[in-house]
Amino acid sequence: MGWSYGGFLASWAIGHSDRMRAISIGAPVVDLVSFHGTTDIRDFIPSYFPPTPLSLDQIRARSPLWNLRPTNAAVLIQHGEADDRVPLSQSTMLYRILDEMGVNVTMVTYPRSPHAPREPKQRMDVARRNLEFFRRYVLNAESPAPPSSGGRSQ
């Protein structure tokens, strides 16, 4: 489970381990090339991959999206619709490819939310969804919690 860089690592795990039963991913960077062209922190990628010019092969090799493989783990993706740091398109790409691979994946977006949900109702929804998700897929128990209502599911 992780958000932002933690979301990157959780996404990376999909293509590199079969040990997980459930993976929760929040606002992940999954394609470093498109992230570099759309984020509000343009110097981020060059600072990690000097010298410039950037090597597309090097960046692709370190992008979770380019290393995905089908997984038996359930995947929950959560992302704010107003995220300029990690644009929503990063999660959308991950969702679509996993869905096309036949992975059990759910994506939830949060209206008005930047890189991390700030509204109390949305923060509660993130926590509730993660608790329900891990109860269901890790503990194999049905959640007694009421349905979540702060985000939009795909």
Cα separation of 125 and 151, whole Å?
A: 7
Q: Which helix (H) or strand (E) holds 2?
A: strand 2-3
Task: Write down the pTM of the prediction.
Answer: 0.87
Residue 3, helix vs strand vs coil: strand
Cα separation of 103 and 105, whole Å?
A: 6
Contacts of 61 (CB under 8 A, 6+ apart): 67
Domains of the chain, start order: 2-153 (3.40.50.1820)
**pLDDT tens string for the chain (154 positions)?**
999 999 999 999 999 999 999 999 999 999 999 998 899 998 888 887 777 677 888 889 999 999 999 999 999 999 999 999 999 999 999 999 999 999 999 999 999 999 999 999 999 999 999 999 999 999 985 434 444 556 666 6
